[in-house]
Structure 1
Amino acid sequence: MGLIPADRQRQILDLIHSGKVVQVQELSERFNVSVLTIRRDLDHLAAEGLVERTHGGATLRRTMSVEPAYTEKALEFPGEKRLIGTATATLIAPGDTIFINSGSTTLEVIRALWKHEITIVTNNIDAAWIANEDAAFKLILVGGAYRTRSHSVSGSLSECLIGNIYANKAIIGVDGFSLQAGLTTPVVEEADTTRFMIERTVGKVIVVAAGNKIGVVSNFRTVGVEEIDTLVTDSTGGNMLSSEELAALGIELIVAE
């Protein structure tokens, strides 16, 4: 006699907690049930907030409750972030006005846009180091309260300036990207400022995220995935996601390699 669903789901969760990325076909054979049954099990666990669905399976839902220091984030996956920056730059056209929020990945996008004749509106203070006299883009830094941990500004003063601008694209970095939970961050001010940028964008919203951000859920929700048009990630992130599933949500997946 087979396991009842609750017991089977408990064993699946134990496998995932052991550090394993589980696959639907593998679980189907292990528990001698149909692929459809396993998919229902994983969907149930995802709805409970216990796992994150991935391409063909599931992994443990990771959380981020404390904001890492910017200096720490800048050292993580530098090569992958450069590739993401280069790939994202190809999506930008001359004359674009772009909102770009804070983060080490978005800073790599700004580097890649150095010779583009566009206008960048950002709360990423480090963008000023890139906008030297040889840069082709026009840089508008929004005001606000400076946060040393993120090298950014946010708050009501930031939103005052953002509220006077309509951008035709937004490039958004995240602390967490989850198909179920959406875009999240451990800092409520960052969530508010980024959300306002998205609300003031009349064109495509492009999310940039290295693979270590996929499947992560943090404290504060910025927007749901239904608000974005494109996700640019690295090969690790691409392996965790299904382009078909994202396409069904209206999201284009670009893997920077």
Structure 2
Amino acid sequence: MIPVERQRKILTLLKNQEVVSISELVDLFNVSHMTIRRDIEKLEAIGKVSSVSGGVQLARNIHIELSHDIKITQFATEKEQIGKLASSIIAPNMTIYLDAGTTTLEIAHQITQRNDLLIITNDFAISAFLMANSSNDIYHTGGKVDRQNQSTVGSKVADFLLSMNIDIAFISTSSWNLKGLSTPNEEKVIVKQAIAKSSKAVCLVSDTSKYGKIAAFHALDMERIDTIITDSGLPESAFNELKDKGIDILTT
């Protein structure tokens, strides 16, 4: 059986059961573990499936992004640990970007004692927190207001970011996989792309609950990411594939 036909059968099988194990697919197709893993990697790279521990499932589509008030209550421990680890890689006198999000807000919580940074953000909660608790220089991007996420989006944000020279950008996302970052909000795409162009280094900060999800608008190829900071829940197959792409992965 040629790979394309086998991959088509894997997708058909997943429509009838939520998760299929690697061992089950090996027995079904009478091929090696390595062959099945290559099939899964190809399907994952085009956003059809996502790896789970010991197996695979269909990619989970998201159509709306949760509000800031809801997100701040979810996976609080994982976000705090990611924030601590992310703050530890910020060198003295850097210009950094904190993308809108509750994980990046945790990074802000960790750098209040510093006074050597220039911090750029499009997030109102982050800028308000830093104004009250930090003596670092702060720039807000301005732009069209996204009330749900307490941030700004669109071309004005992108124009501002393209005028800056950023040492490291900490990017958040509601959904990511081996292909890259996606979003249900089209106006966030231009912002993510501007961040990548303006920054010497791009660091994705995200807990693994968002891995394997996909939204309507592709925002950024995974190849544009230099480092991923996440928790220990990333599937081993995804971890290895990302490492093969040359991405550094730091886990809490």
TM-score, structure 1 length as denominator?
0.86
With 116-125 and 159-168 compared, the bigger mean Cα shift is at 159-168
- How far residue 27 of structure 1 moved from its aligned partner, in angstroms, is 2.8
> Which residue of structure 1 lines up, in the alignment, with residue 206 of structure 2?
209
Change (3 A) 1:57 1:92: same
Q: Distance in 2 between matches of 1:44 and 1:133?
A: 47
Contact persistence 1:88–1:232 (CA under 8 A): yes
Q: Give the aligned CA root-mean-square deviation in angstroms.
A: 2.7
- Contact 1:97-1:167 at 8 Å conserved across structures: yes
> What stretches of structure 1 of length at least 5 have no aligned partner?
none
Q: 2:64 aligns with which of 60, 66, 70?
A: 66
CA deviation map 1:82-113 (0-9, x unaligned):
01100100110110101121111111111112
- Identify the residue that residue 159 of structure 1 maps to in structure 2: 158
When residues 128 and 177 of structure 1 are mapped into structure 2, their CA distance, relative to the original with a 3 A threshold, is same
Aligned to 1:224: 221
Q: Offset of 1:58 from its aligned partner? A: 2.3
> CA 1:19–1:113 in 2, change beyond 3 Å: closer, same or farther?
farther
Residue 245 (structure 2) aligns with: 249
CA contact (8 A) 1:231 1:251 kept: yes
Name whichever of 166-175 and 49-58 sits farther off.
49-58
Identity over aligned pairs, percent: 28
- 1:50 partnered with 2:48: yes
**Structure 2 gap ranges (5+):** none
TM-score by length of 2: 0.87
Of 177, 195, 198 in structure 2, the residue corresponding to residue 197 of structure 1 is 195
State the AA in 2 paired with 1:183. Answer: L
The code of the aligned residue for 1:68 comes to L
Q: CA–CA distance in 2 between the matches of 1:43 and 1:74?
A: 32
**Residue 240 of structure 1: CA displacement?**
5.3
Question: Please, which of 170, 184, 187 is the counterpart of residue 186 of structure 1?
Answer: 184
Structure 1 Cα separation of the partners of residues 6 and 198 of structure 2: 47
Shift of 1:71: 1.2
In 1, the alpha carbon distance for the partners of 2:45 and 2:88 equals 36
Q: 1:111 corresponds to which residue?
A: 109
**Shift >6 Å, 4+ stretches:** none
Q: Determine helix, strand or coil for the equivalent of 2:124.
A: coil
AA aligned opposite 2:219? T
Counterpart contact for 2:94–2:118, Cα < 8 Å: yes
For these two proteins, the number of residue pairs brought into alignment is: 251
Query: Which amino acid is the alignment partner of residue 95 of structure 2?
Result: T
User: Closer, same or farther in 2 for the Cα pair 1:179/1:93, shift >3 Å?
Assistant: same
